[in-house]
C-alpha cells in the first residue's frame, strides 16, 4: 500500500493500518507532519515553527509494517498501478491520495508573485520574517511618511477562518507586543485590513456568530471590508474591482485553496477546487484500488460538500484504513459517514466562535477557550503541547510573543518565494 501525503488523513490511515497484513509506504515531500490549523500562530510570533512540525519517522517508530519516503510524487497511473516520485517509478496494490491542498489565487493578476499564502510551514516562516522586517525597515525610514504607511499596512485577502484568525492575531501582535519593541514608531498609523469579496465573514457559521466576529474584529481595530473583490496585486498595492487602491507592502492570501494532486496519467473526474470525485466509500469510481481523502477528495453528505477541516480528514483516514483492511480480507468497503463534532475559530484574545456538533453555536470567552483546548488536544507530541501552552500563557499574562526574531536561515523554497 502507498499513501501519498502525511497530513491528518494520511497519518491517521498509517496508524490505523499498524496491524494490517500488508506493507505500507508513506510518501511526503517533507519529513514532518504540519499541524496546519496553527500556522497563523507561527506567522504572528506566538510559537516556534518546530512546535507544529512533528517528525514523521518518530510517528512511525512503533509501526513495524510502515516505512517512509521523503519525495515529491509527480505522477500517478491507476491503470498500471504505478506512481512516479522524484523520477523513480514504483508499483502498488492499493493507493491512498491524501496530498492536501495548495493556495488558489483565483486568477487574480499578480497574486502568485506578490502575495503571501499560508498553507505550509515555510509560508508561515517567510510571512513572519516579512512582517517583522517591515517594522525594521520602518525604523530606518522615519522621515519617509509614505513609505512608512506602506510598510505598516497589512492586507489580508479572504474572510474564512484563516483570514479571521490571522487578522486578530496580527492586530494583537502589533498593539500588544511590537508597540513596546518599536517606541520610535507611531504604531497608531499601523493598519490591519481584512478584505472579503462576499457579504459575511466565516460564511459557514450562523449569522449571529458572523456578526459577532465582525464586531469583535472592528472593536479590536481591524478594518473589515465587504463586497469588493481583489482585481490586481503588486509589490506596493492592492487594486480592488471598484478601482480602490490600497498601498501596502504585505498582502496575505487566504482567499482560496484547491487540491494539491499529483498529475494523473488516466481520466480522473474532478469537481470544484480540483478535488477528486469519489464514491461514498472514498474510492475513485473507476479504480477500486485507489482512495482519495482529506482536501484532495470531493465528498458530499446530506447533499452538501464537506468543508475541508481537520476532523473530516481524520475520520476519512480512519475509514480508509478500515476499508483497506476489509479489501485485504475479501470484503466490500463500507460507506463513509462523517460525524460532525463541530468547527471552531479564534477571533482574538478571549473571543472565539464554535459550532459544536455542527448545530450548537457558542461565542466569546467559551468559544475561545474551547478552541484552545481542542487544538492542544490534537497537537502531536506531549512536549509540544506543554511548550505551546507555555507560549499561550506568556502571551495571555504578559501580552508578549515568544518569537520576534527575523531568521535568515530558511529553506530553498522559501528563498524562491521571497524573490
Q: Is 282 exposed, middle or buried (0-12, 13-18, 19+ CB in 10 A)?
A: buried
DSSP 342-387: EEEEEEETTEEEEEETTTEEEEEHHHHHHHHHHHHHHSS-HHHHHH
Angle at 26 between CA 23 and CA 30, to 5 degrees: 160
Give me the numbers of helices (H) and strands (E) for the chain, helices first please. Answer: 13, 29
Output DSSP code: residue 109: B
Instruction: Determine whether 165 is an active site residue.
Output: yes
Nine cell digits for residue 304: 452538501
Cα(168)–Cα(160) distance, integer angstroms: 12
SS3 label, residue 126: helix
Burial of 383 (0-12, 13-18, 19+ CB in 10 A): exposed
Give kind and range of the element (H or E) at residue 162: helix 161-172
Rounded Cα–Cα distance for residues 344 and 293 (Å):
21
**Beta-bridge partner residues of 276:** 270, 297
Tracing cell 510517528 back to the chain, one arrives at: 59
The answer to whether 403 and 46 have CB atoms below 8 angstroms apart is yes
Long-range contacts from 60-65, C-beta under 8 angstroms, 24+ separation: 60/14, 60/26, 62/18, 63/14, 63/15, 63/17, 63/18, 63/24, 64/18, 65/17, 65/18, 65/20, 65/22, 65/23, 65/24
Q: How far is CA 244 from CA 108, 195, 301, in A?
A: 15, 12, 40
Catalytic residue (one of 165, 172, 237, 312): 165
Which of 359, 354, 358, 391 lies closest to 374, judged by CA?
Answer: 354
Could you tell me whether strands 153-157 and 250-253 are parallel, antiparallel, or unpaired per DSSP bridges? parallel
Q: Which of 345, 318, 372 is nearest to 98 (CA)?
A: 318
Catalytic site positions: 165
Amino acid at each position: 500500500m502507498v499513501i501519498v501525503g502525511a497530513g491528518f488523513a494520511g497519518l491517521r490511515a498509517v496508524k490505523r493500518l499498524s496491524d494490517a497484513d500488508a506493507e505500507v509506504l508513506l510518501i511526503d515531500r517533507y519529513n514532518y507532519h504540519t499541524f496546519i490549523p496553527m500556522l497563523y500562530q507561527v506567522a504572528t510570533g506566538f510559537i516556534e515553527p518546530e512546535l507544529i512540525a512533528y517528525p514523521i519517522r518518530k510517528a512511525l517508530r512503533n509501526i513495524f509494517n510502515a516505512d517512509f519516503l521523503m519525495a515529491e510524487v509527480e505522477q500517478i497511473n491507476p491503470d498500471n498501478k504505478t506512481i512516479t516520485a522524484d523520477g523513480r517509478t514504483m508499483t502498488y496494490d492499493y493507493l491512498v491520495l491524501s496530498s492536501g491542498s495548495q493556495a488558489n489565487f483565483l486568477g487574480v493578476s499578480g497574486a502568485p508573485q506578490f502575495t503571501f499564502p499560508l498553507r505550509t510551514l515555510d509560508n508561515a516562516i517567510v510571512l513572519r520574517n516579512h512582517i517583522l522586517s517591515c517594522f525594521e525597515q520602518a525604523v530606518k525610514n522615519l522621515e519617509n511618511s509614505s513609505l512608512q504607511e506602506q510598510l505598516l499596512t497589512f492586507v489580508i485577502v479572504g474572510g474564512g477562518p484563516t483570514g479571521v484568525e490571522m487578522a486578530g492575531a496580527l492586530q494583537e501582535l502589533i498593539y500588544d507586543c511590537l508597540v513596546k519593541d518599536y517606541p520610535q514608531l507611531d504604531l497608531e498609523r499601523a493598519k490591519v485590513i481584512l478584505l472579503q469579496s462576499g457579504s459575511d465573514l466565516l460564511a459557514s457559521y450562523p449569522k449571529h456568530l458572523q456578526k459577532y466576529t465582525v464586531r469583535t474584529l472592528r472593536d479590536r481595530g481591524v478594518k473589515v471590508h465587504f463586497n469588493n473583490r481583489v482585481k490586481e496585486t503588486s509589490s506596493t498595492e492592492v487594486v480592488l474591482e471598484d478601482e480602490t487602491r490600497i498601498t501596502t507592502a504585505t498582502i496575505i492570501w487566504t482567499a482560496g485553496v484547491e487540491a494539491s494532486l499529483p498529475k494523473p496519467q488516466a481520466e480522473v473526474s474532478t469537481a470544484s477546487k480540483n478535488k477528486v470525485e469519489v464514491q461514498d466509500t472514498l474510492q475513485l469510481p473507476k479504480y477500486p484500488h485507489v482512495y482519495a481523502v482529506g482536501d484532495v477528495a470531493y465528498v458530499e453528505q446530506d447533499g452538501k460538500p464537506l468543508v475541508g477541516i481537520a476532523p473530516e480528514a481524520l475520520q476519512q483516514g480512519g475509514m480508509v484504513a478500515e476499508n483497506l483492511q476489509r479489501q485485504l480480507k475479501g470484503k466490500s468497503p463500507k460507506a463513509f459517514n462523517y460525524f460532525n463534532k463541530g468547527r471552531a475559530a479564534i477571533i482574538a484574545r478571549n473571543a472565539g466562535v464554535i459550532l459544536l456538533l455542527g448545530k450548537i453555536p457558542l461565542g466569546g470567552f467559551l468559544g475561545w477557550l474551547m478552541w484552545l483546548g481542542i487544538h492542544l488536544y490534537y497537537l502531536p507530541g506531549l512536549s509540544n503541547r506543554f511548550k505551546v501552552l507555555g507560549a499561550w500563557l506568556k502571551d495571555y499574562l504578559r501580552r508578549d510573543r515568544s518569537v520576534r526574531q527575523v531568521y535568515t536561515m530558511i529553506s530553498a523554497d522559501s528563498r524562491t518565494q521571497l524573490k
